[in-house]
Amino acid sequence: MSAVVRGEGAGGGGEVERALRGAAPHALFEEVRAVLAREHGAAGAELLMADYAAARLQPVTARPFTADSVSAYNGAEGRAFGSQEPHVVQGRDGTTVHLPVTVRGDRLGVLSVRFAAGVATGPLLGALRDVADALAHEILVADRDTDFFLQARRARRLTLAAEMQWQLLPGRSCSRPEYELGAQLEPAYAIFGDSFDWSASADHLTLTVNNGMGEGIEAALLTNLAVSALRNARRAGLGLADQAALADQALYGQYQGRLHLAMLLLRFDLDSGEAEVIDAGSPRIWRLRGSTVEPVGLEAQLPLGMFEDTVYSSQHFRVLPGDRLFFLSDGVYDVLSPAGERYGLHALARAVLSTRLLPSSQVPRALLEELPGYRGGVDAVDDAMVVCLDWHGRPGRPGRPVG
């Protein structure tokens, strides 16, 4: 018998946080195991990390790749990962509690904790969630000093270009009261040019979506330079147009127009929903408002790095509470069927509506899974990227969903 459970329990976050801060980065999970046994009577525990494709949950073991992975969608572990709630499985030999390991909306994996038969796990759920949350935070810190958890994430070897791209990303999902974001790249283990970035302040969300030119290492280097230039300008306090201009100059200075990068650069006002945007070529924006899927019309400007000293100007549109925005690279909307038909708005609208009940963190993976079927099983010839933004608006501010 199994169930998704919301429960309250005794504290335990402070104890585990103190223990983890004193542990070596590669030994975090062993310390968690010890705390769970000592403080909560656990008979055992397992940590599973979401792989780069967000399709499998990979067991974290002392020697990687020595244990079988499980589905990130099905089974008890997959249900905890998908629902982001504890999932309790009761069996003859005891009870296992599967807990999401997530930090600020970024889903890292699942912590599975086993208890002997007869142990009442309901009162422990609150404390176990504290343990899982503390572990998630410490894994992000540990990744600066060890490859242990990064290695556990991979179901197979990454290409060098993909290694560079994944290290560049801010995460695959995040959440705040005003919005939720989810993103995914494919092919996850061989991506080279597409990328995304985001950063939030007290009042604004900045989002960039990039579609790099070229293949392999050359495309990865181009994207790394562009994203680094945009971050440098953003952190210097420059406005959107100046951010685009600085990145444009950096790329042109390096490549003299031989390579360029298509980009969307957006800045959302968290208070009003006003969005400032610079459309430097593809990717494109689609909006789901009520039951209507439509492209957001923007005036395309030159890609970054195509010509020297390009001047960029901002455009504006407004998002409303309940809006869902999709940012797609040409590897999605230009996909061809065996008959030569583009994926386009009709097929995309069907996919968007079929995933409307999923949280934003799961939507990109679901959309990307439709593409192989549309291609008729033919291998992809380009990167594909989906970023999904659910806009809630600032709590307490006026606004209404539009149907």
User: Residue 98: beta bridge partners?
Assistant: 87, 112
DSSP secondary structure string for all residues of 160-212: HHHHHHHHH---SEEEETTEEEEEEEESTTT--SEEEEEEE-SSEEEEEEEEE
DSSP secondary structure string for all residues of 231-273: HHHHHTT--HHHHHHHHHHHHHHHHTTSS-EEEEEEEEETTT-
Quote the tokens at residue 296. Answer: 């957001």
Do 197 and 208 touch, CB atoms closer than 8 A?
Answer: yes
Sites in the chain below the pLDDT cut of 70: 1-13, 334-344, 372-382, 397-403
- Which pLDDT value is given to residue 113? 98
369 CB neighbour count, 10 Å cutoff: 16
- Which pLDDT value is given to residue 369? 84
- Which pLDDT value is given to residue 340? 60
- Containing H/E element for 293? strand 292-295
- Which pLDDT value is given to residue 124? 95
Q: How far apart are CA 365 and CA 81, in angstroms?
A: 14
- Containing H/E element for 216? helix 216-235
Q: How far apart are CA 246 and CA 40, in angstroms?
A: 54
- Which pLDDT value is given to residue 335? 64
Q: How far apart are CA 103 and CA 398, in angstroms?
A: 29
> Which residue is listed with tokens 């995933």?
355
